[in-house]
Amino acid sequence: MSFFFEVLIGGLLSGVMYSLVALGFVLIYKASGVFNFAQGSLVFFAALTFVGLREHGFNSALALLATLGVMIVLGLLIERIVLRPLVNQPQITLFMATIGLSFVIEGFAQLLWGANVRGLELGIQDEPIEQITTYTGMNVSKFDLSAAGIAALLVTGLALFFSRTRIGRALRAVADDHQAALAVGIPLQQIWGIVWAVAGFVALVAGLLWGARNGVQFALTFVALKALPVLIVGGFESIPGAIVGGLIVGASEKLAEVYLGPYVGGGIEGWFPYVLALVFLLFRPEGLFGEKHIDRV
Amino acid sequence: MLYREAGQFKASYATDQQIFPIRQDRIAVAALTALAFVIVPLVADQYWLSAILIPFLIFALAAVGLNILTGYAGQLSLGTAAFMAVGAFGAWNFVLRVPGMPLLVAFALGGICAALVGIVFGLPSLRIKGFYLAVATLAAQFFVVWALTKFNWFSNYSTSGVITTQRMEILGFAFDTPRAKYFLTLTVVVVLALAAKNMVRSSIGRAWMAIRDMDVAAEVIGIPMLRTKLLAFAISSFYAGVAGALYAYCYLGTVEPEGFNLDLSFKILFMIILGGVGSILGSFLGAGFIVLLPIFLNTVARPLENLLGLSLPPGLMSNLELIVFGGLIIFFLIVEPHGLARLWQITKEKLRLWPFPH
């Protein structure tokens, strides 16, 4: 039984990591209806920039600040150059534009910093916490736990930002109804710029954690694909949905790999979340927390 | 002046309903077909045939398939490569396991396998739409590639899942030169593209478009949702499957499941977006664009490199290619969101008036 819980907790904690990436998607989708496929590339770019700056002699704090600046500028630029000319286009066009964007960012990142795999040391060891192991016999990674803590902090921070600040309220207004928001004098493009900047910030956090976990390499961009089932389970428009979805996907994926995997030859982690998401969709087409759409003729 | 339908009267329903109602269009299509069948094989060399024209035709076919699903029926799909894989491995297994299986029948059966898989993964489309559906089709993408790699019955127990296609022979004629393969591909593609062109202007095509434009309204006016959507998935996957079989047999010769990855799916999606969503012609234009772009970039980069007297490391080159590719896609989407097919339409309208301004 303790093995089951160990797998479950490991899954839940890795699910938090998925949530971090999914969060970036949700932010942008909620505010502008853009399904931002480039979020994975942003994660990759952020991690690579941070590591690259550190290699050039910046200390961690300075590198972090500089990367944050770069990500925010990048977010603003994306909004200005790519998305503003595409306002009012169908969603699929915007989606395609972000796929093109992901190519540009990936190419640019590797052009700038090179393509070799780098390690990223955050000062948190990926080792089991002794106290928990001695009391319950379960291995819970210190790193995973810290990652979960950081994610919780981030979500709380975002929630406060959205509910307590003027900009946050404007963001929610835009998310609810673009035209109504415009009508009451909320500058739409400014808001979108801010959303993209925030998404860049979230990508930075995700990039640091994922980079420390798996090494900073091109495979980081595939993290975005892991986040998609999370989005489906949780719903595209919901921040709590991204968290809950991440937990469900993370836990079920690990459990499936351990208990179901051996029967079919293993390696099911790659597609299991998607099939899980499909099953969810059959019962809740908008995900757990997504907005219900009523179709009118 | 050149492209003007004035004076072409339609005296019967048959002429009114024909596939290309304007005479100039008919002439142009006939000329193009003749060009593809007669002139191209005469002038094109081996490189052009096997590195550009054959993949162009195959991708165009896959793009037509995706366009039926996404452009006409409005169901966004990111799993085209998976259906191609099913088609390729299906056809290969039919040839392998059924003695005396005719090649074209095997292709068709591979396509039918893909269609069946397409129906299974199309089922969620009855409940969900938009990006939710797109992610659902990703399930097909990952699951199919995983299944083909994991269960090596599909690749006849080859250790790496790689299959090498059998010798192609139809009625005793061996298709082993690039030219012969080109003919085979071209014939299949022309037949299927014409079928698609006819399909989308028939009642089923209209039903697809009604569902694309507004599915609730379509259902209200009596279009059977279940049948129409699943038919779109089936036919689209059939096209992708046949394209996959051609991809394996006529283009690569040796394929592995990993070759049909998400990148390929995206590539085909790019083709229809750049070519024009909801246009058969657009599928061809988009395929041509995507196939030619990397080659073009390479040919431009080489002389540029020599001119500037520096040798770029290959890694840099591929990254630059990535940037230019992505940048061009964004650029195209911004300047012409309706794709190359729309540009062609504008040209036609200009040609109609030319040389007069109005």
Mean of pLDDT values over A246-261: 85
The angle subtended at Cα A12 by Cα A9 and Cα A14, nearest 5°, is 110
Report the chain A residue with the minimal C-alpha distance to residue B77: A92
DSSP label of A266: S
| Fold of the domain built from segment(s) B36-353 | ABC transporter involved in vitamin B12 uptake, BtuC (1.10.3470)
- Put simply, the answer to whether A225 touches B128 (Cβ < 8 Å) is no
d(CA B172, nearest CA chain A) in Å: 42
| pLDDT in the model for residue A117 | 77
Nearest to B333 among A96, A231, A275 (CB): A96
Instruction: Break chain B into its structural domains and give their ranges.
Output: 36-353
Residue B234: the pLDDT is: 96
- Select the residue from A264, A274, A280 to test the B interface by mutation, using most B Cβ atoms within 10 A: A274
Average pLDDT value for residue range A113-130:
72
**pLDDT for A104:** 92
pLDDT score, position B220: 92
Cβ count near A174 (within 10 Å): 23
Chain A residues with beta carbon closer than 8 angstroms to that of B322: 103-104, 106-107, 110
> E strand or H helix at B104, and its extent?
helix B103-122
Query: Which pLDDT belongs to residue B203?
Result: 93
Only one residue has tokens 């790689």, namely B162
Which tokens go with A133?
A: 């192991």
Query: CB–CB of B199/B235 below 8 Å?
Result: yes
CA distance A279 to A262: 22
| pLDDT score of A118 | 77
What are phi and psi for residue A63, nearest 5 degrees?
-60, -40
Q: Is the pLDDT at A212 greater than 90, yes or no?
A: no
Go through chain B and tell me how many residues it has.
358
Asked if B39 is an interface residue toward chain A (Cβ–Cβ < 8 A), one would say no
Angle value at C-alpha B266, between B147 and B184, nearest 5 degrees: 80
Contact status, residue B67 vs residue B339, Cβ threshold 8 Å: no
User: Does residue A18 surpass a pLDDT of 80?
Assistant: yes
pLDDT at B63: 96
Check residue B61 and report its DSSP letter: H
How far apart CA B88 and CA B193 sit, in angstroms, is 19
pLDDT of residue B277: 87
Quick check: helix, strand or coil at residue A216?
Answer: strand
pLDDT at A182 (0 to 100) = 85
pLDDT above 70 (res A73): yes
CB count within 10 Å of CB A84 equals 13
- A246: closest CA of chain B, how far (Å): 15
Average pLDDT over chain A, rounded to whole? 83
Q: What is the pLDDT of residue A133?
A: 65
Please check the confidence at residue A293 and state whether its pLDDT lies above 80.
no
Closest Cα in chain A, distance from residue B102 (Å): 34
Note whether A95 contacts B: Cβ–Cβ < 8 A. Answer: yes
Q: Give the pLDDT of chain B (358 residues) as one tens digit per residue.
A: 678 778 888 889 988 888 888 888 889 899 999 999 998 888 888 888 888 999 999 999 999 999 999 999 988 888 999 999 999 999 999 999 988 889 999 999 999 999 999 999 888 888 777 777 887 788 889 889 988 988 888 888 877 778 888 888 788 788 888 899 999 999 999 999 999 999 999 999 999 999 998 888 999 999 999 999 999 999 999 999 999 999 999 999 888 888 998 889 988 998 998 898 889 999 999 999 989 988 887 788 777 777 776 666 666 777 887 888 888 888 888 888 888 899 888 888 888 888 887 7
In this prediction, residue A2 has a pLDDT band, given cuts at 50, 70 and 90, of confident
Cβ of A282 under 8 Å from any chain B Cβ?
yes
Residue A243 pLDDT > 90: no
Q: pLDDT at position B204, please?
A: 94
- How far is B204 from A166, CA to CA, in rounded Å? 52
B218: nearest CA in chain A? A297
Q: Quick one: which of A217, A209, A214 has its CA closest to A23?
A: A209
Q: How far apart are CA B295 and CA B291, in angstroms?
A: 7
Taking the C-alpha atoms of residue A86 and residue B334, their distance in angstroms, rounded to an integer, is: 6
Q: Is the ipTM of this complex over 0.90?
A: no
pLDDT computed for residue A142 by the predictor: 79
Chain A CB within 8 Å of residue B221 CB: no
pLDDT, position A24: 86
How far is the C-alpha of A254 from the C-alpha of A9, rounded, in Å?
9
* A contacts of B325 (beta carbons < 8 Å): 100, 103
pLDDT 10s digits, A127-177: 666 666 666 666 677 777 888 888 888 888 888 888 888 888 888 888 777
Q: Would you say residue A74 has pLDDT above 70?
A: yes
Which of A92, A212, A97 is closest to A143 using CA atoms? A212
What local confidence, expressed as pLDDT, does residue B314 receive? Answer: 66
For residues A213 and B287, what is the distance between their CA atoms, to the nearest angstrom? 39
Q: What is the 3-state secondary structure (H, E, C) of A194-212?
A: HHHHHHHHHHHHHHHHHHH
- Chain B CB contacts of A35 under 8 Å are 131
pLDDT of residue A19: 87
Give pLDDT, residue B205: 95
pLDDT, tens digit (0-9, with 9 covering 90-100), for A260-282:
877 776 677 778 888 888 888 77
CB contact under 8 A, B322 and A265: no
Is residue B148 a contact partner of residue B154, using CB atoms and an 8 Å limit?
yes
Indicate the SS3 state at residue A162.
helix
Q: How far is A173 from chain B (nearest CA, A)?
A: 23
Distance CA A134, CA B287 (A): 61
**In 3-state terms, what secondary structure has residue B256?**
coil
- Asked if A186 is an interface residue toward chain B (Cβ–Cβ < 8 A), one would say no
The whole-angstrom separation of Cα B198 and Cα B204 is 10
Model pLDDT, residue A125: 67
Dihedral angle at the C-alpha atoms of B345, B351, B354, B356, nearest 10 degrees? -30
